[in-house]
Amino acid sequence: MIYWAPLFHFYQPPTQVRGILLKISNEAYRPLLEVLDDYPHAKATVNINGVLTEILWECGHSDIINKLKKLAEDKKIEFTGSAKYHPILPLIPTEEIERQIRRNHLTNRHFFGDVYIPRGFFPPEMCYSQDIVEPVIESRHEWIILSGVACPVVWPMDVIHEVGYDEEQLAAFFRDDILSNKISFKDIDGKSFIDHLKQLYKGESDIYVITAMDAETFGHHIRNWEKLFLAEVYETLEPVEFDKGTVQQKPLAEQHRRLFEFQRNGEIKQIEIVTISQLLEHFPKGSRIEPRPSSWSTTGDDLKARNYYPLWKDKDNAVHQMQWEHLSIVMDVTLKAYELADNPSSRHFVSIARSLLDQALHSDQFWWASKRPMWDINMIHRGLNLQREVLVNAYKAISVSGCSPQTKKEYHYKEVAARHISYEITDSLYAD
């Protein structure tokens, strides 16, 4: 048996404009969900970050939320947990990781109700370091999905390795980066994909394959790809049975599992589409391992250079360095403001700052500054403005609090330093 577990990642940043959200919803989200709904035994694992769930509702796209909810009720999809505003988890403090995971769960549970019961965890951009393991385990997830480049051992296809801290364990799944990227960049069609799965089967034991990509791949990045690729695969992998040398279609009433049968060395083998959590029922535990720090965009050369998150914090990218320096000050001032707030006015401003800081951690502002190959001054500037808004409210909270004049002066200097960095970032946008 070959088990194929596809994962689709739905996300848009809090700074996304309504027109683009509408375009993506019409080109990708609605058509993709229709394909999943059209095939009776379709399966997928879905991550949707709480920020997107929220803005879909606010912008009048509640039908997408309702469709996801229905698919979960029909057992066609399972949800994963994640971080609400899609921050790069290894690059933010543990307390912020925990807060983002908690807020993501509360938001999605509010909109999806009882069907939102994630067993697995999708770290934004599949960015991993050992530092994120404890918060993921503490939030009661059973497994985590990582990029294939993170795998430090022989490629696991018939065993599920684990990561952990102390005595706690978390199942670790790795996406097939090569196959996933072939799908994402239209470098493989449905027939070739199925042939590839069949060729992966080498021995007698069952194997599994996980692909993962942005939901926006289907229809937005690649026009009609949900039909030209995904629907073709789902249609080909109809439930069938092998009977006296011929493959015959089962009547719909007899369909229990989505299978596709083929012969290998005179034996009948099957392909079944499953959710990632279903793999836990079919494969044994492996070893405790330590995956490499990485993301789903990290290359082997990046690993050698210890440049683990190149699209979000490249050590040779001056804009990245300034963005993170600015954000570090913003976080410092906000947390200090939270500590010092001692009257209604200061508590009012720190409440605004604290809420905005959650959003200001989002990954897109860094991604658009990566120049590999992305560069968009407007997305960079929107992220910077969001950070500035946090800082304005955080320092205002300090300035109206009852703390000492020396403390106010100290944090005013930090606010001035952040202002200077923000000017340098803005100047860099003009230069390029």
What digits encode the pLDDT tens for the residues 327-375? 999 999 999 999 999 999 999 999 999 999 999 999 999 999 999 999 9
Angle at 126 between CA 122 and CA 127, to 5 degrees: 120
Q: Say what the pLDDT of residue 203 is.
A: 73
One-letter identity of residue 71: L
Picking from 34, 363, 78, 74, the residue whose alpha carbon sits closest to that of residue 219 is 34
Residue 309 lies in a domain: no
Residue 310 lies in a domain: no
241-268 average pLDDT score: 49
Check whether residue 257 and residue 336 sit in a common domain: no
Residue 372 lies in a domain: yes
pLDDT at 249 over 80: no
Residue 141 lies in a domain: yes
User: Are 328 and 351 a contacting pair, CB within 8 Å?
Assistant: no
Q: Say what the pLDDT of residue 262 is.
A: 60
Check whether residue 24 and residue 87 sit in a common domain: yes
- Comparing 305 with 260, the larger pLDDT belongs to 305
**Residue indicated by tokens 């997107």:** 52
Check whether residue 288 and residue 331 sit in a common domain: no
Among 236, 265, 300, the domain-final residue is: 300
pLDDT in tens, 105-132: 999 999 999 999 999 999 999 999 999 9
Check whether residue 99 and residue 21 sit in a common domain: yes
Among 273, 300, 327, the domain-final residue is: 300
Check whether residue 160 and residue 275 sit in a common domain: yes
Residue 313 lies in a domain: no
Check whether residue 169 and residue 21 sit in a common domain: yes
Residue 70 lies in a domain: yes
| Number of domains, the chain | 2
pLDDT in tens, 12-68: 999 999 999 999 999 999 999 999 999 998 999 999 999 999 999 999 999 999 999
**Bridge partners (DSSP) listed for residue 2:** 207, 271
Check whether residue 290 and residue 336 sit in a common domain: no
CA atoms of 210 and 222, how far apart (whole Å): 21
Among 253, 270, 300, the domain-final residue is: 300
Check whether residue 293 and residue 148 sit in a common domain: yes
Check whether residue 252 and residue 375 sit in a common domain: no
- Length of the chain as a residue count: 432
Residue 306 lies in a domain: no
Picking from 332, 324, 334, the residue whose alpha carbon sits closest to that of residue 356 is 334
Check whether residue 290 and residue 376 sit in a common domain: no
pLDDT in tens, 280-313: 999 999 999 999 999 999 999 999 999 999 999 9
**CATH number of the domain that residue 99 is part of:** 3.20.110.20
Residue 305 lies in a domain: no
Whether a cis peptide bond, with omega within 30° of 0, leads into 373 is yes
Q: Say what the pLDDT of residue 242 is.
A: 43
Check whether residue 291 and residue 323 sit in a common domain: no
Check whether residue 259 and residue 326 sit in a common domain: no
Domain encompassing residue 336: 318-431
CA atoms of 22 and 27, how far apart (whole Å): 8
